[in-house]
Amino acid sequence: MALALFCGVLRAQPDPVSYGNRLEQGDVAQVRAWLDAGMHPDFLADRVGTGLMVAAWHGNIPLMELLVARGADVNKSNALGEQALMHAAWRGNVDAVKWLLAKGARINNGQMRWSALHYAAFSGHAKATALLLDNGANINARSTNGSSPLMMAVYEGHEDMVKQLLARGADRSVKNDRGDGALEWAFKFQRLGIARLVSAPQEFVAAANQPKSRWGAPLRSLSEGEAIADPPRAAAPDPANEKIDELMRLRQTLAARGMNDAVKKLDSRIAALRAQRARADRHTPAAVLEISASRAAPENQRMRVIFGADGPPP
């Protein structure tokens, strides 16, 4: 009896790593079983955030439907102030963006906060960007440091995205709290074609005549966990992540062949790797560690490790 009760508790409340693992597999049946046993619909996985956020990240609409039907909050924020809509936009999951908007997802986050449009522009997803703008996204929304979606597109070198935003009326003159704007970033990263797009001819000539030292050396940002740097940047390639992705692909093949015992062994291996990665992330050495004061959650702080242009020290 005691063992049965213990197993029932585990089934009702998975650990964050196991939950994240099942979410990434798209295991709707297991998530439904946990919900049936009493798991809160906004239970946090070990990465990204709630189940709905992970499902939006992967564009898994059946999983999103299940969680929202059971009471998941479409506007719930994680420790970084992100919502499911932002994750769907970051990955360019247009169908997931449409679904979330239809369910009442908030498209604008207010003054001086990251928005779904920032994330779509940062990642260069034209269709997601157009969809957000068509539904009322603020094209000149300001992030926590005052950066605009146009600046995010410039920062990442997405020239087509820059053109798209300019055609929709993006303000080229916005500057963040460090005094940087689209033109400054274009020259800092030596993107002259983009610099011409975001400036008048006279401005471009004046900027081009400035010494390179005027713009400063570009900094290389490495993500801590799934946190987005300031400005946001995708996570640096991680061998642990690549290994997990490889095992996930193998798992799908084995599951399709009905090799359930092998699938169970792989699940254990994947969960162990995820736990190992989580522990390693919390001990990443840093030359300079920048932490946003508004991202104070112990597990998912907004932070970045800043090295010089040559990368981290050996």
Share of the chain above pLDDT 70, in %: 71
Q: How far is CA 60 from CA 97, 158, 231, 288, in A?
A: 11, 26, 27, 37
Question: Do the domains 1-106 and 112-217 sit in the same CATH topology, yes or no?
Answer: yes
Q: Of residues 58 and 302, which shows the higher confidence score?
A: 58
Q: Which conformational region is residue 73 in: left (phi greater than 0), alpha (psi within -120 to 50 degrees), or beta? A: beta
Q: What is the CATH code for 112-217?
A: 1.25.40.20
Beta carbons within 10 angstroms of residue 274's beta carbon: 22
Indicate if the pLDDT at residue 8 is higher than 60.
no
Indicate if the pLDDT at residue 33 is higher than 80.
yes
Q: Round to whole Å and give the CA distance between 168 and 114.
A: 19
Indicate if the pLDDT at residue 211 is higher than 90.
no
pLDDT of residue 256: 62
- Predicted structure pTM score: 0.70
Domain spans of the chain, in order of start: 1-106, 112-217, 219-314
CATH superfamily placement of domain 1-106: Ankyrin repeat-containing domain (1.25.40.20)
Q: Kindly state the average pLDDT of the residues 113-117.
A: 96
Q: How far is CA 17 from CA 23, 48, 63, 185, in A?
A: 10, 11, 18, 38
Q: Kindly state the average pLDDT of the residues 104-117.
A: 95
pLDDT of residue 279: 57
Indicate if the pLDDT at residue 46 is higher than 60.
yes
Q: Which helix (H) or strand (E) holds 197?
A: helix 192-197
pLDDT of residue 128: 98
| pLDDT interval class at 244 (50, 70, 90) | confident
The tokens describing 74, both together, are: 């479409």
pLDDT of residue 267: 76
Give the three-state DSSP class for 289: strand
Q: Of residues 34 and 314, which shows the higher confidence score?
A: 34
Q: Round to whole Å and give the CA distance between 289 and 179.
A: 21
* CB-based burial label for 220 (10 Å; 0-12, 13-18, 19+): middle
How would DSSP label each residue in 170-182? Answer: --TT-B-TTS-BH
The tokens describing 248, both together, are: 């996930």
pLDDT of residue 212: 77
pLDDT of residue 272: 73
Q: Tell me the pLDDT of the chain averaged across its residues.
A: 81
The tokens describing 287, both together, are: 């030359």
